[in-house]
Amino acid sequence: MKQIVCLHSLTPEQIRQIEQAAPGFELIIKNKKELTPEQVQAAEIIIGWSKTIASHALQEDSQLKWVQTWSAGVDTLPLERLRDRGILLTNSSGVHAIPISESIFAMMLSFSRQMHIAVRHQLQKKWESDLKVPGQSTLGEINGKTLVIVGVGEIGRETARLAQAFGMKVIGVRRSDRPEPNVDRMYTMESLHEALGQADYIVNVLPLTDETHHMFDAAAWNAAQKGACFINAGRGPTVDTASLIDALRSGQISGAGLDVFEQEPLPADNPLWEMDQVIITPHVAGSNDRYTERVVDIFTENVKAYVAGQKPPRNLVDYERMY
């Protein structure tokens, strides 16, 4: 019998959901340490990925034909080897739209209302109504401010929808300047710096590719409107960390909400830890209690098509674009 190997825990209902969508397949659920090399090599479909199983999954006699990742990003996978083997690759794009957009707004509202400073005062039992930090004004509001979203995919669309509800002007930046609901104006990547010059808040939700590596560098910060806040919920290496620290120190960027970093965990001696104008979360913006449910829904739709001899209709990765 053909085999599907899933590296993540599933509920009995989710197991039934997959089994009903994939008749003729045996579903094996084990973590990477429990799987034998023989089970990895025999799998036609793998849900999830791990460097631990890569050598066995990509052997010449492996049965692997399709990988459904547990994450939206695929930059940590051996893309060239998967492509050369003709293996289908689908990601979990769309799973993160709600939790990440809500995390983005938690950070933006914190900067606007200086909640992060109030919490630090609370820990010191300090009653202080002046919450401003160097380079920032006192309490503000996001209504009427301009938000620039760089990378308008599923997460960017949901972020734009929420921004419109808060009365913000929304500018989008992506490969295509095709209009998008809830985005007032769309720029292509070639016009990134022009867009940044209009931003009160900059949200980065770009994937990591050769093109986007260190896209946010000294030139980008200098092009930004002075005093803009920057939020990174995309990929850490899209940002040149050293130049961001310089921009924060100079006040060119007044605050940074960072969920992802070039090096994770963020080293204890990194200056970002000590900056009052920085909010740090440990790569958890996309985490929530409905994650597995949403991944299984994506996989179920895809596997129904796969069983019928069709390509998976959702989130098929373009190896040339790397997303």
Answer yes or no: are the C-beta atoms of 286 and 73 closer than 8 Å: no
Q: Which 8-state DSSP code applies to residue 266?
A: P
Give dist(CA 172, CA 150) in Å, integer.
6
| 290 part of the active site | no
For 216-223, which contacts have Cβ atoms below 8 Å and span 24 or more sequence positions?
216/240, 216/243, 216/244, 217/243, 218/243, 218/246, 218/247, 219/193, 220/192, 220/193, 220/196, 221/246, 221/247, 221/252, 221/253, 222/252, 223/192, 223/193, 223/194, 223/196, 223/197
Provide the phi-psi class of 63: left if phi over 0, else alpha when psi is between -120 and 50, else beta: alpha
Can you state the percent helix, strand and coil of the chain, rounding each to 5? 35, 20, 45
| 185 part of the active site | no
- Cis, bond preceding 312 (omega within 30 deg of 0): no
Phi, psi of 229, rounded to the nearest 5 degrees: -100, 140
| 264 part of the active site | yes
**CA torsion through residues 246, 260, 212, 112, sign:** negative
Choose, from 26, 34, 141, 264, the residue flagged as catalytic: 264
Tell which residue, 286, 306, 279, has the closest CA to residue 113.
Answer: 279
Choose, from 214, 249, 283, 294, the residue flagged as catalytic: 283
Give dist(CA 88, CA 141) in Å, integer.
46
| Active site residues per annotation | 235, 264, 283
